[in-house]
Amino acid sequence: MIRGEQGEPSFNLFGIKADSRWQGDAVSITTTEYREGLPMKEQASFRAYRDYESSFRDYISFLESNPRYREVLSVADKPEVFAEKLQEAGYATDPNYGSKIRQIMNRDSLMTLSMGSDGMKE
C-alpha cells in the first residue's frame, strides 16, 4: 500500500500515478521505474483515494478512458491474459509486471477466497 508522509493509506490499489489530468489528492513516494530495462529509483506522485471503492472505480474509469487499453478490456474475463495485455499496453514499466500479477492471483490466499468450503468455485 502506498502511504503518505504521515503513514496514512492512499487506498491506491493499482499504482495509478497522479499526472496533470488528476484533480484529486496525491501521495509522493520513491518508486522503482524501469528505463531501457534498467531499474531506477525516482520520486513519483500517485493518486490518493478516500477508500478502496474509489480506487476500484477510478481504475475502471482510467482503463475505459484510455484507448491504449481497449484490447486489455476485451479480455477482462481472462485474468491471466488481462495481466499480460496490461503490461504490453504499457501500464507499468516493470518488464515482469504481468508475471508478478499472475503470481499474486495464484497465491493460496486468493484461491481460497474464490473457492467454497467444498473446493468448488463459487
Contact 4, 10 (CB under 8 A): yes
Cβ neighbours, 10 Å, residue 48: 21
Catalytic, out of 5, 25, 53, 58: 58
Contact 16, 25 (CB under 8 A): no
Spell out a b/e string for 96-113, using b for 16 or more CB atoms within 10 Å of the CB, else e.
ebbeebeeeeeeeeeeee
Q: Which one, of 53, 52, 33, 50, lies nearest residue 41 by Cα? A: 33
Catalytic, out of 33, 51, 88, 94: 33
33 catalytic residue (yes or no): yes
Give the residue numbers annotated as catalytic, written as ranges. 33, 58
